[in-house]
Amino acid sequence: MIRSYPGIKTFKGDSITVQDALVVESPLIIVLNDEPFTVTMQTPGKELELALGLLITEGILSYKSSASIEYELNLSETESSIRFHFDPSTYSIANKRSLMSIAACGICGKTDWKVPEGDPLHSKENSLILDYGFETMFNHQQAFHASGGLHAASIFDGQQNLLTIHEDIGRHNAVDKCIGDLFIKQQLQKAEWLLVSGRISYEIIAKCFKAKISNIAAVSAPSSLAVDFAKEWGIHLWGFCREGRQTQYA
C-alpha cells in the first residue's frame, strides 16, 4: 500500500513541489488464544499471510500442519489486529515477544534467542534459476516501481515456476507473507527457492530453515551469521545476484 505525500525536491539550487508515493507503515497486533504475542510493523495487506508465516517461522505452527485455523481479522487505517484461536495442544510459544518488532528487524522484541533445531536440509542446487528468478520478481514489484520503498520476496519450485511473491517495508515480513501464502494454498512443500530483494541476515536463514526452503538468493550481501548457519543447516546461499553475476557462500 502506498500513499501520496507532498515534498520539495531540490536539484542544483532549483526547487519544485512534488507529490511522491510513499510506503504505508502501520502496526499489526497478533494475539494467540487471547494472549498478546507480538506487534509487528508492516505494510498493510495480506495480514493473515504475514501472521501465519510468522507463526510457522517462529516454530509455533508446523510448516506441514493441516489443522483448521480459526481467526478474527480487524483492519483499520491506524492499526490492525488478528486473533487466532488454537487448540492449546497443537502449538507452543517458545519465544514470546514482549516488545514491538520493527519493520527492519525480524527478531526484535524476543525475550530469548533460541537457535532452531532439526536435520540439515537436502536439495539439488541449480543456479540457472537466479537470472530468470530475479527478473521475474522485479517485473512483479509493482509497489516498488511506484514508490522505491519496498522489499520483495518470491518463492519458486524446482522447475522455476513462480509460486508466490509479496512486497513489504520489512524484508522479513515479505518472506513471512510468502510462506504464509503458500501455507494457505497448501503448496509450501513445493517451495525450493527463496529470492529476496535486499540483504540476507540470520533471521531470513532461520525462517527458511523452519519452512524447509533449501535455496536462498539475494540481490545484496549476506551477513557472517547467515553464512555460518546456512552451512550448518544445509542451505545453499547466494548473494550479490546482479546482472548475471552472483557469489555462492554456502
Q: Where are the domains of the chain?
A: 129-248
pTM, two decimal places = 0.85
Measure the CA–CA gap between 6 and 16, rounded to whole angstroms.
Answer: 11
Output the furthest CA–CA distance in the chain (Å, rounded): 65
Cβ-contact 250, 231 below 8 angstroms:
yes
Per-residue pLDDT of the chain (250 residues; tens, 9 = 90+): 788 889 999 988 899 999 988 988 999 999 999 999 999 999 999 999 999 999 999 888 887 776 678 999 999 878 899 999 987 766 665 545 544 555 556 555 554 546 666 777 766 656 667 989 999 998 987 766 666 768 999 999 999 999 999 999 999 999 999 999 999 999 999 999 999 998 999 999 999 999 999 999 999 999 999 999 999 999 999 999 988 899 999 9
Chain centroid to Cα 239, Å, comes to 17
List 105, 178, 208, 241, catalytic entry: 105
What residues does 165 pair with on adjacent strands? 154
Annotated catalytic, 108? Answer: no
Fold type of domain 129-248:
Cytidine Deaminase; domain 2 (3.40.140)
